[in-house]
Structure 1
Amino acid sequence: MRGLADIVLTIRAIGTQPVLTAMTWLAGLTSFMIGNAYHAQMPGFAGDLGHGDPGVSYSVLLAADAAGALLAGIALESWGRLKGTPRTAITLAMLWSVALLGFAAVRIYPVAIVLLFFAGFFELSFNTMAQALVQLNAPHDIRGRVVGLYNMAGLGMRAFSGITVGVFGAAIGIHWSLGLSAAGLLTLLFLLHRRGTRTA
């Protein structure tokens, strides 16, 4: 009960700080709707794309996602021109949603690889930016609690993406489940972006 009370107190404490609130919502929404649930479904996507051996196709698809994340890490560290703001982080998350929506819909293997590359790039970019904004803007006296709340939203909500992407995938197909989840996330992020613009 003490842990729940601390969570409630931390939520109230950041309620008047738009940056912390927006980034916590961002972490929670992206994890709840999609998270990394689609990674476990890559063998199914590889088989549906019908390009060569499903095992090799599966490896290449995951490698494309990882390569995009690697490039994002290098670019964010060396380029330094991408300004870290809540709007930018939300925009990058929206682009991630678009890339995954395209991946869910496409049936051309090379295009799927490119889309996953961009998905990996955008995912690491918005996650890194959001976490940095939380750490920089958290009040000193409750920084640990604020970061913990952000991590809980980002990691804890992934359990529900197993439903939105995984369980629904078994019912309606993995392409439809990922596509609908990405479309739903895109809509929610658009609303979050508009709200952030009004409060900025």
Structure 2
Amino acid sequence: MMGDNIEHVITYLVLWNTFHSPVLVGFQLVSHWLPFLLLSVYAGALAERFDCRRIIQIAQGLFMFVSLCWGVLFLTGTLQLWQACVLLVLHGLAGCLWGPAEQMMLYDFAGREQLPSAVRMNATFRSLGVLFGPVVGSALLLLFGATGGIFANIVFYLPLTLFLTRTSFTGHSREGRMMAKRVSLWQSFRVLGTVRRDRVIMGMLVLAALASVSIGAVLQTAMPAFGTALTPPGVDGELVYGALLFALGIGGVAGGFFLEASGWFKPTVRTAVISSITFGAFAMIFAFTGLLWVAVVALVLTGFSQITATSTGQAIVQLEAPPGQRGRVLGAYSMFGPGMQTFSGVTVGVLGSLLGIPITVIIGGAVLMAGAVLTGLYMRRAPRRAAL
């Protein structure tokens, strides 16, 4: 995740300085999340059929190949718009490919009883990468420039790639042999029929989709606008902007460690619903307040609520998924969660231009809160075994 975010920091800056294209900025968001929307379920089918270690290594290799191509184009000064678009799409495909395989391996490592803990810690360290990726990316830019920094970024993908050469876990050992038959892209989506009949899994998918569409990447995308509005007289605006981003990130990281250390929040439907409600509520407080210290506290609590909702939903989906379809069900969760962030750019662009960014976030938070309540009522009618 650190390598992923370092690449964003370096490439987005170079692309803006090279092309000055607002359309390309929008394409950057779409190209990153659209593969999750369209291909996550199929990536889950691949994780069921093949060795998960190799799938993740292929994804890591694709990440490194993209960074290498960026570096060559920067070095030779031959970067063109179509090349940038192709590399952005390949980067999004790499991110989509490894998610279900990684989650299946967590089940192998931890087993059913310890799975929620494994999912929480995995989410926490992903948040840690997201938090420090921009910091490290900025440092690489300062020390080595865009070309040297993007070449150096290849190193950040190596630890996981090398680790997988030494582990014997494949993502299948607890469930027996791998899926024997080949599943096409179209056939993989049939798992949505299975998901639709399970109210708990369906509820988790709806909560993930609501969070992505209503708030999703909106906060990070719109943070410069909030930084400008919340900067007190005589204070550096860039410092405030950085503090706001750090507050959101540290809320997720600290929240993950707190959840694991305290054991207070169990992976239940109630936890998922309540944390989704508080996610929307704290985002609304942040958008509404004009006080910097209130905004910082609200963002920390927003990050805390977000990681609670995400890790809880992911754990429940893993536990409820039929063993023979676990990879595809996990892919469906990525489709409804990260994949739906494809539309968060529309949320910012359309509503933000009509109503302003703060009102857009307030509306998004209210939609998430109301949707979480309705989804919770829907899941109450689920069989007792699924209530966890």
TM class by shorter chain equals over 0.9
- Is structure 2 residue 329 aligned with structure 1 residue 146? yes
Q: Distance in 1 between matches of 2:363 and 2:242?
A: 25
Q: Distance in 1 between matches of 2:208 and 2:185?
A: 20
Residue matched to 1:38: 219
* Pair member with larger Rg: 2
Letter in structure 1 aligned against 2:373:
F
Q: Distance in 2 between matches of 1:85 and 1:101?
A: 25
Alpha-carbon offset, residue 117 of structure 1:
0.5
Contact 2:199 2:378 survives alignment (8 Å): no
Alpha-carbon offset, residue 37 of structure 1:
1.8
Equivalent residue of 2:185, what SS? helix
Residue matched to 2:188: 6
Q: Distance in 2 between matches of 1:87 and 1:160?
A: 27
> Which consecutive segments of 4 or more residues in structure 1 shift more than 4 A?
none
Residue matched to 2:30: none
Residue matched to 1:75: 258
Contact 1:93 1:123 survives alignment (8 Å): yes
What are the residue-to-residue correspondences of 1:1-200 with 2, within 5 Å?
Answer: 2-7=184-189, 9-51=190-232, 52-199=235-382
Q: Distance in 2 between matches of 1:165 and 1:85?
A: 32
Alpha-carbon offset, residue 90 of structure 1:
1.4
Range 21-30 or range 114-123, more displaced: 21-30
1:139-169 CA distance string (max 9 Å, x none): 1101010000111111110011111234321
The TM-score normalised by the length of structure 1 is 0.94
- CA RMSD of superposed structures (Å): 1.6
Q: Distance in 2 between matches of 1:188 and 1:4?
A: 29
Contact 2:218 2:361 survives alignment (8 Å): no
The TM-score normalised by the length of structure 2 is 0.49
1:8-53 CA distance string (max 9 Å, x none): x111112222221111111111111111222011111011113222
Consecutive unaligned residues in structure 2, runs of 5 or more:
1-37, 39-183
Consecutive unaligned residues in structure 1, runs of 5 or more:
none
Range 175-184 or range 108-117, more displaced: 175-184
The sequence identity of aligned pairs, in percent, is 33
Q: Distance in 1 between matches of 2:297 and 2:186?
A: 42
Q: How many residues align?
A: 199
Alpha-carbon offset, residue 124 of structure 1:
0.7
Residue matched to 2:155: none
